[in-house]
Structure 1
Amino acid sequence: MDGQGALGRRPLLKAGLATLLTTASAAPARAERRHERYLLGRGIGDVTGQPAENGMMGYARIGQRTTGIHQRQRARAFVVAEHDRPDRRVAVVVVDAGMIFGCVREAVLARLAERLGDRYTERNLLLAATHTHAAPGGFSCHTLYNVTTIGFQPGTFEALVTGTAEAVERADADLAPGRLGLARGELTGASVNRSREAFERNPAEEKRHFPGAVDPSTVLLTFERGGHPVGAINWFPTHATSLSPDNTLVSGDNKGYAAYHWEREVSGVDYREPDPGFVAAFAQSNAADMSPNLELRPGTGPTDDEFANTRIIGTRQYAAAARLVSSARPVTGGIDHRMSRVDMSGVAVAPEFTGDGRKHTTCAAALGASFAAGAEDGPGPSFLDEGAGNNPFFGTISEALYRASPELRERQAPKEILLPVGPLGWVPRVLPIQLVRIGELHLVALPQEVSVVGGLRLRRTVAERLGTAPENVVVAGYANDYAGYLTTPEEYDRQAYEGGHTMFGRWSLPAYQQEFARIASDLAAGAESADGPSAELNPGGGRVRLQPGVVVDAPPPGGDFGDVLEPPGRGYARGERARVVFASAHPNNDRRGGDSFLLVQRRVPGGWSTVADDGDWSTEYHWARKGLAASTATVAWTVPSGAESGEYRIVHRGDAKEPGGRVRSFSGTSDSFRVE
């Protein structure tokens, strides 16, 4: 196989696990046919954004700009339709991204409409982000979220739209009869409550559901055909922040690794083949106060190595999900969905939901000083602190505002207001809420990060209206748009980081409870839900591009793109790191979606076989600027413990912009080296 060939299939790592995945959850053939009442489809798309000089999304650190790739970002799509009524369908997509912004969703829907007609709309398409903080940003159409990325980044926006739409198209084309299974379990050791003081303000009856102040619930939806698992979606709440603000390599973080591990390392998936064979998505739930940094410092816990932690926390999520495969019970029931839009800047909340027996109202978005102070595991500037009353300067200003407006005090106090982002139009105010039914499983999709107790209240509210148990309701956070955090009113009063980022005020969660109760009642009654106000995509104000694109690339003096500047050693043992430096060009010329900037190849009879690329955990692709127009690419490969002995080489591929604007592809190949 030559250097352009597909990645070699990998066998399952352990025979026992292979048996689990292929037999343990399979019902006898007759029972399987009885439960194949669904059409199931799966698809994966490459959504890797600009891997160089693109501000990263999540930590809001201006100097954190991409310098390469550790693992590619993926969108994983699952389509479920009723077997006898394929028009009754939903698509659930989990994307390795910091957030899903409204303009991304609208662009994906437009792309799908061009190719698939009205099969997928804002009502039956659920887009959710894993919330990795190790990915390029600049893809919002609202100003606040593009500030630290030096404006809008069209290359990253297009990557997300193209790859997400592609994943849905592939899942749609993959539809075939199958069986759904549902299982629930618990996982500890993968999260810690980073806002404990706020959590403790909640009623004891609610806190008892969360021993250790964490939500251990892990929920698995399995996809099976012919008695064999072909896909899975797992929901578990923990931030995808195992990688710290110091990291500048693109990665799906712990949830991205969990999916990669199940797909590639366990199931032998080749991402370049049309049929992936197995698709695993690790989605978020009510993760606002759940951190993977077990020692509550950036990049710590259970070790002091942030990359090791990414792998460990991801593996723990995978292992908990894989254990549930054998206990998954057949899903029965129909497919349904409801969606509505809500103007969160002015929701009148009925006493039924406020908790104090009185009517209250949300208000225009405002960020608190505690937001700028950062969380326990990701602190902000040292001159700002979490907590009400801890920032005197902003407290004095806010108190003056509250004296002038008792209405503002009732809605936003005790927040020490830092920035009124709502009146400035810097964040969305009209937000989508969505309820998706897949048999007895109900997904509450909302565009915010909700705390574990807040998630419990939402699940109970929806379950009561649907006449089901709360365990049949899962909060799908970071979905369809983004507008910060969502705390309970009790947690809000503490004004920790999460409360300072609960932008629409103290009554935001009760407002969501009210609006989800409305659409849940509609779903239970078989009635349509009101559309609500029109979405405001802010197409002008947010899409300001301040950073210029690539002007020109220059090869090294007397050399050419792809030249090897630093060759590998003559041989490496397993666990050692092979490293090659190439003369390169700016990778933003072509992000190589569905492809790779590097190949690790082993000599086989008749040619070379590719064993790894820049989507693999074992590889690293580092880009660096050298002068005004020259650059280098450093490719590193840590030889896996299971690597076969033999002769290897490393290939780098890229695209250079010449004077005049033409972009041409190039490649370079290292000398071979031995692995023994």
Structure 2
Amino acid sequence: MTEAVERAHADLAPADLTLAHGELRDASTNRSRVAFDRNPRADREFFPDGVDPQTTVLRVERAGRVVGVINWFATHGTSMTNRNLLISSDNKGYAALHWEREVEGGDYLAPEPPGFVAAFAQTNAGDMSPNVGGRPGSGPTGDEFENTRIIGLRQYEAAASLLKQPGVPVRGGVDHRLTHVDLSATAVSAEFCGDGRAHRTRGPIGGAAALAGTDEGKGFAGFRQQRNPFWDALSAVLYRLAPGLRDAQAPKGMTLPGRLLNRLRPFIATRFPVQLLRVGPLYLIGIPGEVTIVAGLRLRRTVAELVGADLENVLVAGYSNGYFHYVTTPEEYEAQRYEGGSTLFGRWQLDALRQTAARLAVALRDGTPVERGTPEPGHSGRIRPAEDKTADGPSPGRVLTQPAPSYHPGEQAGVSFVAANPNNDLRRGRTYLTVESEVDGAWHTIADDGDWSTKFHWSRGQSTGPVVQITWDIPPGTTGPHRIRYHGDAKDPAGHVEPFTAASDVFVIG
């Protein structure tokens, strides 16, 4: 990410920005409708289908040519289930790759900067699931890979359609405010609390409902969403002994007390950055967590009212600058579904964030500074890279299984190699594989490990040591000679890492 920022900074140039909004209603569903329905009628009526359908596009043009697009839409990146062991950027990643590579036809080896960049960003997706079939890996089909493609394609199509609209030119410059807030001890004024009384947040505690998992993926055995009799009864005793804890955390069935865990070693942060960013008429509320759509609506209304912006131009930018799990409304918190159990700082966490966002909004509006607060101390440690466990025998790169001599479009080509440990070099900005096509005696890369058509399966293997299997789903219209190359990095007994490249036999598509 740091390199991406550096490249963007080096690529600064005049550009025109345009903002447009639309709706997308078949790429999300509310996975916690029981909790959503506890909200007041005015909030529920704002989302009559229980989903946030707004899709927003910020278009970047240079000399009349679109060079970049940022889209915001609320749906979880969980079309892939927790059974998937491949690294995946899920439905939003597919949307971006489809636009950049399949539609724009980007050159994989093009010099920096790239010709077109598509970013599919997240907003208040806390209770928005892409599994429109209502269970993990379901919706609209029963295949999680196909679902990832379809839900990504729907987000792309909704965003691309907005480019056909004139949109609103973005004027007024860029500004922002950021502060760090200690969510374990925030005094929340009565102005921001729905019951008209002041309250206080408490230390982070994980709920039994959080350990149960969601409708998108199974959690730990013995835990359920909503009621967990043992943990609820134990917590009720503690609540009677500690009224302040009860006010902040009840009715959560408490299981993971953050303060106690932090005494053993840094485990759960308590101080987090909250940011407000303005790009012309667009306001982004940077929240380091997953915000439900009604919680997001309240944050958006708070900021919009103070800065005088249209509500559609105020978005929650979830997962920003850090991560503290979930944010629910106090009403949703009562239900203690997964999202409520994962709202670590309790019932008043949203109102503490609204209070903070209001302070940032006033400062941004009035052009005044804001106290940045105290950030969380750094707790990063060093992880030793895994040793290369290649057994005595064939060296990495040797082909174990060659592809067939020929294929037809629509079939899958595959090859397996003796492998090195991928952790020897993460090949950042490069690739573990390439699919190459021969044209006029020269080989050209047509796909790499970022493409939807390729998969890179690594396993420990047996007699040969680690094995990598590379597959490629051959696109329609493909013809001619092709080969698959594996790019790895082998570690010798002394710990030195050397890159290598191996290639399959040539196969013909026709």
- Same fold (TM > 0.5): yes
In 1, the alpha carbon distance for the partners of 2:171 and 2:477 equals 41
3-state SS in 2 of match to 1:298: coil
3-state SS in 2 of match to 1:611: strand
Q: 1:271: Cα distance to partner? A: 4.1
Are 1:584 and 2:419 an aligned pair?
Answer: yes
Q: 1:553: Cα distance to partner? A: 4.4
Residue of structure 2 equivalent to 1:661: 495
Q: 1:187: Cα distance to partner? A: 0.1
Does the 8 Å CA contact 1:422/1:429 hold for their aligned counterparts? Answer: no
Does the 8 Å CA contact 2:78/2:216 hold for their aligned counterparts? Answer: no
Q: 1:304: Cα distance to partner? A: 0.5
Q: Which of 102, 105, 112 does residue 265 from structure 1 map onto?
A: 102
Are 1:436 and 2:277 an aligned pair?
Answer: yes
For 1:601, the aligned partner's letter is E
Query: How large is the RMSD of aligned CA atoms in angstroms?
Result: 1.4
For 1:530, the aligned partner's letter is E
Q: 1:560: Cα distance to partner? A: 2.8
Q: 1:537: Cα distance to partner? A: 2.5
Does the 8 Å CA contact 1:552/1:629 hold for their aligned counterparts? Answer: no
Q: How does 1:51-62 map to 2 (within 5 A)?
A: none
3-state SS in 1 of match to 2:132: coil
Residue of structure 2 equivalent to 1:372: 211
Residue of structure 2 equivalent to 1:529: 370
Q: How does 1:170-185 map to 2 (within 5 A)?
A: 170-185=7-22
3-state SS in 2 of match to 1:435: strand
In 1, the alpha carbon distance for the partners of 2:238 and 2:108 equals 55
Residue of structure 1 equivalent to 2:30: 193
**Deviation larger for 480-489 or 615-624:** 615-624
Are 1:276 and 2:110 an aligned pair?
Answer: no
In 2, the alpha carbon distance for the partners of 1:483 and 1:515 equals 16
Residue of structure 1 equivalent to 2:316: 475
Q: 1:424: Cα distance to partner? A: 2.5
3-state SS in 1 of match to 2:376: coil
Residue of structure 1 equivalent to 2:150: 312
Residue of structure 2 equivalent to 1:355: 194
Q: 1:552 to 1:524 in 2, by over 3 A?
A: closer
Q: 1:179 to 1:628 in 2, by over 3 A?
A: same
3-state SS in 2 of match to 1:409: helix
Does the 8 Å CA contact 1:582/1:633 hold for their aligned counterparts? Answer: yes
For 1:314, the aligned partner's letter is G
Are 1:331 and 2:170 an aligned pair?
Answer: yes
Residue of structure 2 equivalent to 1:216: 53
For 1:300, the aligned partner's letter is S
3-state SS in 1 of match to 2:163: helix
In 2, the alpha carbon distance for the partners of 1:371 and 1:504 equals 13
Residue of structure 1 equivalent to 2:508: 674
**Deviation larger for 392-401 or 624-633:** 624-633
For 1:470, the aligned partner's letter is L
Residue of structure 2 equivalent to 1:243: 80
In 1, the alpha carbon distance for the partners of 2:120 and 2:240 equals 47
Are 1:624 and 2:459 an aligned pair?
Answer: yes
TM-score by length of 2: 0.96
For 1:309, the aligned partner's letter is N
Q: Which of 551, 556, 560 does residue 395 from structure 2 map onto?
A: 560
Residue of structure 2 equivalent to 1:593: 428
Residue of structure 2 equivalent to 1:71: none
Alignment length, in residue pairs? 504
Q: 1:397: Cα distance to partner? A: 1.3
Are 1:168 and 2:5 an aligned pair?
Answer: yes
Does the 8 Å CA contact 1:272/1:594 hold for their aligned counterparts? Answer: no
What residue ranges of structure 1 are gaps of 5+ in the alignment? 1-163
In 2, the alpha carbon distance for the partners of 1:334 and 1:602 equals 46
In 2, the alpha carbon distance for the partners of 1:417 and 1:405 equals 13
Does the 8 Å CA contact 2:81/2:216 hold for their aligned counterparts? Answer: no
In 1, the alpha carbon distance for the partners of 2:124 and 2:375 equals 27
For 1:535, the aligned partner's letter is E
In 2, the alpha carbon distance for the partners of 1:610 and 1:477 equals 36
Q: 1:562: Cα distance to partner? A: 1.3
Identity %: 51
3-state SS in 2 of match to 1:229: strand
Q: 1:556: Cα distance to partner? A: 6.2
Residue of structure 1 equivalent to 2:241: 404
In 1, the alpha carbon distance for the partners of 2:8 and 2:484 equals 33
Q: 1:610: Cα distance to partner? A: 1.4
Q: Which of 209, 212, 229 does residue 66 from structure 2 map onto?
A: 229
Could you give the per-residue CA deviations for residues 307-335 of structure 1, whole angstroms, max 9, x where no partner exists? 00000000000000000012222111121
Residue of structure 2 equivalent to 1:492: 333
Q: 1:228 to 1:597 in 2, by over 3 A?
A: same
Does the 8 Å CA contact 1:555/1:561 hold for their aligned counterparts? Answer: no
Does the 8 Å CA contact 2:406/2:508 hold for their aligned counterparts? Answer: yes
Q: 1:485: Cα distance to partner? A: 0.2
Q: 1:640: Cα distance to partner? A: 0.6
Larger relative contact order (C-alpha < 8 A, sep ≥ 6)? 1
For 1:483, the aligned partner's letter is F
For 1:297, the aligned partner's letter is R
Does the 8 Å CA contact 2:178/2:274 hold for their aligned counterparts? Answer: yes
Moved runs in structure 1, 4+ residues, more than 3 A?
Answer: 552-556
In 2, the alpha carbon distance for the partners of 1:608 and 1:227 equals 34
Q: How does 1:540-555 map to 2 (within 5 A)?
A: 543=381, 545=383, 549-554=385-390
For 2:56, the aligned partner's letter is V
Residue of structure 1 equivalent to 2:184: 345
For 1:663, the aligned partner's letter is V
3-state SS in 1 of match to 2:355: helix
Does the 8 Å CA contact 1:256/1:314 hold for their aligned counterparts? Answer: yes
In 2, the alpha carbon distance for the partners of 1:324 and 1:240 equals 22
In 2, the alpha carbon distance for the partners of 1:642 and 1:254 equals 25
In 1, the alpha carbon distance for the partners of 2:375 and 2:477 equals 55
